[in-house]
Amino acid sequence: MAPAYKLTYFDFTALGEPIRFLLSYGGIEFEDNRIQRANWPALKPSTPFGQVPILEYNGKLAYQSIAICRYLAKQVKLVGKDDWEDLEIDATVDTITDLRLKFAQYIFERDEQAKKEKEKQTLFNETIPYYMEKLDAMAKRNNGYLAVGRLTWADLFFVSMLDYISLMAKKDIIGGSPNLQIVRENVLKIPSIKAWIEKRPKENL
């Protein structure tokens, strides 16, 4: 019998990995439908807004990665105890998304070399250190977690994105952030997350 959930995304981590982490954390079996870039033009018109990830469940189709993550977080009980805690968790996830987008903007834009070099200096000398300092302080306040003093989907979201962001940065961006390293350790030691990482494809992180 096929799994109830089917995740469609490219054959790497990025926006698909937080969803894979949450499904794995909850022990929810899913079809990990990885598409190759060469096949994307043929698939794209059939998607709701010409983008992935897409999560299918019992004939229903969901899109928008953060919305999918928030839904799954509710399913696996990694949300806040009240609306204010949910607000804190959501704000943390949005902050991590802001950082990812700053990387993506630098990596994928095609400005002239001089302008791109200036943006690189700003990103690595100002933006990354600023975000790492703030996020590390948050992790310290929350005893090794990013929000509300315990494990939430914000932690899984952050750690699942680290490989991709560090790949774009060409370095471990939390190498100088001891409290964020604790966040990573707290997530990676979860048996179901550890099992997922051991079995996921290694060639396209």
pLDDT tens string for the chain (205 positions)? 778 999 999 999 999 999 999 999 999 999 999 999 899 999 999 999 999 999 999 989 999 999 999 999 999 999 999 999 999 999 999 999 999 999 888 777 666 676 778 888 889 999 999 999 999 999 999 999 999 999 999 999 999 999 889 888 888 999 999 999 999 999 999 999 999 999 998 765 6
Q: Are residues 21 and 105 in the same domain?
A: no
Q: Which two tokens stand for residue 70?
A: 């928030």
Residue 204 lies in a domain: no
Burial classification of residue 17, based on how many CB atoms lie within 10 Å of its CB (0-12 exposed, 13-18 middle, 19 or more buried):
buried
Q: How many structural domains does the chain have?
A: 2
The enclosing domain of 27 has a CATH number of: 3.40.30.10
The enclosing domain of 109 has a CATH number of: 1.20.1050.10
Count CB-CB contacts under 10 A for residue 154: 30
Q: Are residues 100 and 119 in the same domain?
A: yes
Q: Are residues 12 and 61 in the same domain?
A: yes
54: three-class secondary structure by DSSP: strand
Could you read off the pLDDT of 135-151 as tens digits, one per residue? Answer: 999 999 999 999 999 99
How far is it, in rounded angstroms, from Cα 128 to Cα 171?
A: 11
What is the extent of the structural domain holding 14?
A: 5-76+192-199
Residue 17 pLDDT: 97
Residue 152 lies in a domain: yes
Q: Are residues 176 and 91 in the same domain?
A: yes
Residues 6+ apart with CB under 8 A from 25: 76, 78, 156, 190, 192, 193
pTM for this model (two decimals): 0.93
